[in-house]
Amino acid sequence: MHPRYFDRQALTACWREALLAQAVVADAGRGYSKHPQLRRFQLMSSPEAAIGDYLSAIADEADRRGYRFTRAKILARGAESLTVNSAQLAYEWQHLLAKLHQRSPDVWERWQSITVPEPHPIFAVVEGPIADWEKISPV
């Protein structure tokens, strides 16, 4: 989903995790190269650019909030857009809302009435189920 919905903890965690994903994609034998969530990037014609575009939107949100994420860490940009299934987006939204409710009630209050969140800027939403790689946990 769009990083505007993240609290500070989610925004910084997303940045760190996406930087790790970028390192794994750039060096396929490294770390968690078989991590299921990396598939969405690895299937792109330019996985490095896809993760770079993902990171750029996170950095844009950090800038908007007055944080300074080091854009020089982004290795590439300019990928085609990715798709996300509608049910996947809905699942991730409920997961985020549950975390916000516990961790950042003020942020939860701001967003809890939204039923269909805007996706991350590099994703186009298509009708479909939760991704087969998702490990579904109760929310």
The pLDDT tens digits for 54-106 are: 999 999 999 999 999 999 999 988 877 889 999 999 999 999 999 999 999 99
How far is residue 104's CA from residue 7's CA, in Å, rounded to a whole number?
A: 7
Secondary structure E strands in the chain: 82-85, 123-126
Residue 13 within a domain: yes
Quote the domain boundaries for residue 113: 3-126
Token pair of 136 as six digits: 């579904």
Task: Kindly tell me if the per-residue pLDDT of 35 is higher than 80.
Answer: no
pLDDT at 24: 87
Residue 11 within a domain: yes
Residue 45 within a domain: yes
Choice between 8 and 36, residue whose per-residue pLDDT is larger? 8
Task: Kindly tell me if the per-residue pLDDT of 21 is higher than 70.
Answer: yes
Residue 136 within a domain: no
Q: What is the dihedral of CA 15, 137, 123, 7, to 10 degrees?
A: -40
Residue 139 within a domain: no
How far is residue 38's CA from residue 86's CA, in Å, rounded to a whole number?
A: 19
Residue 85 within a domain: yes
pTM: 0.88
pLDDT at 131: 87
Count: domains in the chain: 1
